[in-house]
């Protein structure tokens, strides 16, 4: 039997390939991407405040020779306006160009002191000659503000603009400034105007939630991470019950737990805050058994700063008995004797420490301590 093959003409073959491709579900569903070359630059900027991520995305128009003709004109009009092209409602300015400007927050925030839940928002501004109303909307997919709906507003906040920036900014920018550990000032800047607003976070609350989230995953089985989480709670005096569970897991020998000073002293501190004084003292005694010479010295300094002078002296003395005639132990005794008012013995140990000082920096520090003690004055706490 002979099988004969018929060769299709090139045009027919091409048509067949095209038909087959178009018949495949999702075939070529993504368009080829090329440089946009638009006059309004796609832009984005962000900051992290504590554990909160703040991000803004916008299209940046240029002044393009229109200085003095931006604000209060059709470019950036005052109040609300009917924009046409099928849009019949009154709309605020889109705070950028082209698509809607959007701002997102990874945690709840305060905008000028007003609460705003975590999420992504369309951002609009109602401009006026001497004030602005910031508008955060549920609509994040719009084309500018053409189809703005006030019922989708989540928050409106009034602010004052600055209209006298010395140097004109050609491209509309969103900037960040004056950042602290719990706030940052965002601002829209264009031409000579600047529209600033403050974003604040609940640093303690968001950090705790961030830690709890991490502890619910693989890090919840990692003793150093458990210890770090418990230590943060101790330092901030929050979430004590859960923190105690974390440090108990971190120090549990059945889990290959930690038996160092940092972990055990963290446990002691948490027990003390919970009012379990006897358990705290027992945990601290165990911690001291595992402490290095410098850890004992640092703990004594901590007690001095807390004005627990006799306890501090006892720690410095214990360090000396445990680790002997060394520079840190004599420095500690100098501070301990000074704290309890024994200037004579403080001076004695400061002079011994001076002869053992490991470097010029510590020698200078001890010389200053000796000078103070020779004047009969106690050391600064």
pLDDT for res 37: 62
pLDDT at 22 over 80: no
Is residue 163 one of the residues assigned to a domain? yes
If one compares 11 and 131, the residue with the highest pLDDT of the two is 131
| Same-domain pairing of 52 and 108 | yes
Dihedral of alpha carbons 103, 105, 111, 117, sign: positive
| Same-domain pairing of 108 and 241 | no
Domain final residue pick, 200, 215, 250: 200
**Least confident span in 85-99, 159-173, 227-241, 333-347:** 85-99
Averaged over 352-363, what is the pLDDT? 92
What would the two tokens of residue 376 be? 């009969």
| Same-domain pairing of 324 and 346 | yes
Tens digit of each residue's pLDDT (9 = 90 or more) over 80-109: 998 888 778 889 999 999 899 999 999 999
What would the two tokens of residue 161 be? 């603009």
Is residue 67 one of the residues assigned to a domain? yes
| Same-domain pairing of 219 and 147 | no
Unique residue bearing structure tokens 């095209």: 18
Query: Taking the CB of residue 352, how many other CB atoms lie within 10 A of it?
Result: 18
> Where would I find the H helices in 2-139?
10-23
pLDDT for res 3: 42
* DSSP label at residue 260: S
| Same-domain pairing of 255 and 174 | no
pLDDT for res 36: 62
Is residue 9 one of the residues assigned to a domain? no
Percent of the chain with pLDDT over 90: 81
The answer to whether the CB of 56 falls within 8 A of the CB of 19 is: no
Is residue 34 one of the residues assigned to a domain? no
| Same-domain pairing of 191 and 230 | no
Is residue 338 one of the residues assigned to a domain? yes
| Same-domain pairing of 330 and 259 | yes
Burial call 116-126: b when 16+ CB within 10 Å, e when fewer = beeeebbbbbb
If one compares 235 and 10, the residue with the highest pLDDT of the two is 235
Distances from the Cα of 172 to the Cα of 95, 97, 136, 162, angstroms: 9, 9, 19, 15
pLDDT for res 301: 93
| Same-domain pairing of 179 and 211 | no
> Where would I find the H helices in the chain?
10-23, 203-215, 223-236, 240-251, 261-273, 277-290, 293-305, 309-323, 327-339, 343-356, 360-374
Averaged over 301-329, what is the pLDDT? 93
pLDDT for res 33: 62
158: β partners: 133
Give the whole-angstrom CA distance, residue 46 versus residue 327. 49
| Same-domain pairing of 164 and 213 | no
| Same-domain pairing of 250 and 343 | yes
| Same-domain pairing of 195 and 210 | no
Is residue 14 one of the residues assigned to a domain? no
Is residue 21 one of the residues assigned to a domain? no
Q: Read off the CATH number of the domain in which 230 is found.
A: 1.25.40.10
pLDDT at 13 over 80: no
Give the whole-angstrom CA distance, residue 188 versus residue 112. 15
Domain range for residue 119?
A: 41-200
**Least confident span in 85-94, 130-139, 319-328:** 85-94
Averaged over 35-49, what is the pLDDT? 84
Domain final residue pick, 166, 183, 200: 200
Nearest Cα to Cα of residue 103 among 247, 22, 199, 17: 199
Dihedral of alpha carbons 156, 163, 83, 57, sign: negative
Give first-to-last CA distance, the chain, whole Å: 107
pLDDT for res 34: 55
Is residue 268 one of the residues assigned to a domain? yes
| Same-domain pairing of 186 and 242 | no
Averaged over 160-171, what is the pLDDT? 94
Tens digit of each residue's pLDDT (9 = 90 or more) over 218-246: 999 999 999 999 999 999 999 999 999 99
Domain final residue pick, 175, 200, 225: 200
Tell me the pLDDT of the chain averaged across its residues.
89
Strand residues in 106-148 grouped as ranges (E): 109-111, 114-116, 119-127, 132-137
Number of domains in the chain: 2
- Provide the pLDDT confidence category of residue 254 given band limits of 50, 70 and 90: confident
**Least confident span in 178-187, 193-202, 353-362:** 353-362
pLDDT at 374 over 50: yes
């Amino acid at each position: 039997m002979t099988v004969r093959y018929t060769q299709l003409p090139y045009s027919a073959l091409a048509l067949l390939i095209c038909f087959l491709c178009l018949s495949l579900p999702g075939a070529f569903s993504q368009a080829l991407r090329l440089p946009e070359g638009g006059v309004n630059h796609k832009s984005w900027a962000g900051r992290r405040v504590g554990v909160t991520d703040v991000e803004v995305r916008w299209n940046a128009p240029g002044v393009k020779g229109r200085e003095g003709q931006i604000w209060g004109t059709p470019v950036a009009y005052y109040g609300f306006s009917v924009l046409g092209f099928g849009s019949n409602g009154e709309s605020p300015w889109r705070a950028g160009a082209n698509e809607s400007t959007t701002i997102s927050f990874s945690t709840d925030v305060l905008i000028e002191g007003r609460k705003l839940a975590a999420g992504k928002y369309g951002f609009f501004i109602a401009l006026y000659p001497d004030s602005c109303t910031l508008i955060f909307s549920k609509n994040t997919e719009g084309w500018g503000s053409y189809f703005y709906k006030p019922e989708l507003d989540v928050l409106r906040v009034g602010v004052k603009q600055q209209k006298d920036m010395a140097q004109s900014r050609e491209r509309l920018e969103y900037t960040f400034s004056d950042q602290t550990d719990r706030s940052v000032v965002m601002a829209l800047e264009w031409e000579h105007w600047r529209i600033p607003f403050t974003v604040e976070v609940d640093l303690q609350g968001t950090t705790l939630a961030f830690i709890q989230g991490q502890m619910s995953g693989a890090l919840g089985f990692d003793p150093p991470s458990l210890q770090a989480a418990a230590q943060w709670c101790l330092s901030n005096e929050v979430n004590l019950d859960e923190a105690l569970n974390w440090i108990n897991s971190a120090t549990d020998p059945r889990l290959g737990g930690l038996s160092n000073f940092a972990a055990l002293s963290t446990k002691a501190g948490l027990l003390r805050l919970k009012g379990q004084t006897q358990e705290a003292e027992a945990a601290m005694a165990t911690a001291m058994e595992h402490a290095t010479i410098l850890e004992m010295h640092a703990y004594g300094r901590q007690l001095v700063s807390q004005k627990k002078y006799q306890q501090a002296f006892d720690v410095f003395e214990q360090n000396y008995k445990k680790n002997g005639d060394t520079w840190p132990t004599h420095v500690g005794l100098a501070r301990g004797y000074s704290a309890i008012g024994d200037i004579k013995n403080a001076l004695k140990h400061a002079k011994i420490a001076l002869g053992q000082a490991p470097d010029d920096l510590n020698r200078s520090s001890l010389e200053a301590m000796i000078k103070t003690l020779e004047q009969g004055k106690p050391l600064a706490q």
